[in-house]
């Protein structure tokens, strides 16, 4: 029987629960799903490609038909190299639509035989993006429930040591300035 392979390309910096929701959905409808991390030397990512590969491999190891890979250059050419006939992308809100439509139609122009398949993540992740997760975590906010625990831990490790959870506790008012205070031993 004909095996349908799909690629799920993206930056995954970092992987969120929205990405994992989509991987789960994709794993159910495709015979093989390749999570493909774009290696883009121009961007300054928070997590290195190797770190993102490590996290995604750990988070998807329970799926027999999901594997993690990296690529650069055109997505359509990568898809051809791995024998994928579908490209999976997630659509959250209407605001995603225009960009995703442009990409899907450009990819279709470049490689008509590659079909883009859009799936919607669970509603509770509809506002979630890697960019917002990075921003909130970098400013010391909680991303609990938005990213897997492994990613949460790795985010903490990336932050300014002064903001690492566990080392600091309450936030005290000092004049108008809010300050973090060291936990009393």
Active-site annotation, residues: 19, 43, 92, 130
CA 25 to chain centre: 15
Exposed / middle / buried, residue 33 (Cβ in 10 Å: 0-12, 13-18, 19+): buried
Q: How far is the CB of 177 from ligand PNS (least distance, A)?
A: 36
Q: Which residue in the set 29, 50, 101, 106 belongs to the binding site for ligand PNS (CB under 6 A)?
A: 106
Q: How far is the CB of 74 from ligand PNS (least distance, A)?
A: 4
Per-residue binder mask for ligand PNS (CB under 6 A), 37-56, x = binder: -x------------------
17 interacts with ligand PNS by CB under 6 A: no
d(CA 11, CA 24): 18
Contact between 37 and 67 (Cβ < 8 Å): no
171 interacts with ligand PNS by CB under 6 A: no
DSSP state of 134: H
Q: Which stretch binds ligand PNS (CB under 6 A): 3-11, 25-33, 116-124, 166-174?
A: 3-11
101 interacts with ligand PNS by CB under 6 A: no
Q: Which residue in the set 6, 8, 11, 26 belongs to the binding site for ligand PNS (CB under 6 A)?
A: 11
Q: What are phi and psi of 6, to 5 degrees?
A: -120, 150
Please report, as residue ranges, which positions from 51 to 80 form the binding site for ligand PNS (by CB under 6 A): 74-75
- As given in the structure block, the two tokens for residue 147 are 């990213």
148 interacts with ligand PNS by CB under 6 A: no
Q: Which residue in the set 103, 119, 120, 132 belongs to the binding site for ligand PNS (CB under 6 A)?
A: 103
DSSP-derived pairing of the beta strands 177-182 and 168-174: antiparallel
CB 137: neighbour CB atoms within 10 A? 23
**CA contacts within 13 A on the Cβ side of 102:** 4
How many residues touch ligand PNS under the rule CB under 6 A: the total is 9
Rounded (10°) CA dihedral 26, 43, 39, 7: 20
107 interacts with ligand PNS by CB under 6 A: yes
Give the interface with ligand PNS as residue ranges (CB under 6 A): 9-11, 38, 74-75, 103, 106-107
């Amino acid at each position: 029987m004909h095996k349908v392979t799909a690629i799920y390309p993206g930056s995954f910096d970092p992987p969120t629960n929205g990405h994992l929701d989509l991987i789960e959905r994709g794993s159910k409808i495709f015979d093989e799903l390749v999570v493909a991390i774009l290696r883009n030397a121009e961007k300054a990512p928070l997590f290195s490609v190797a770190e993102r590969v490590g996290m995604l491999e750990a988070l998807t190891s329970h799926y027999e038909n999901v594997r993690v890979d990296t690529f650069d250059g055109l997505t359509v050419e990568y898809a051809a190299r791995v024998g994928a006939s579908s490209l999976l992308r997630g659509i959250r809100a209407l605001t995603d639509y225009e960009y995703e439509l442009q990409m899907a139609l450009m990819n279709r122009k470049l490689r008509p035989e590659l079909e883009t398949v859009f799936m919607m993540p669970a509603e509770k992740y509809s506002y979630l993006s890697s960019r917002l997760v990075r921003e909130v975590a970098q400013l010391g906010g909680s991303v609990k429930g938005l990213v897997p625990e492994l990613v949460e831990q790795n985010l903490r490790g990336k932050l300014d040591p002064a903001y690492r959870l566990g080392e600091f506790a309450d936030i005290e008012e000092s004049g108008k300035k809010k300050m973090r205070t060291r936990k009393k031993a």
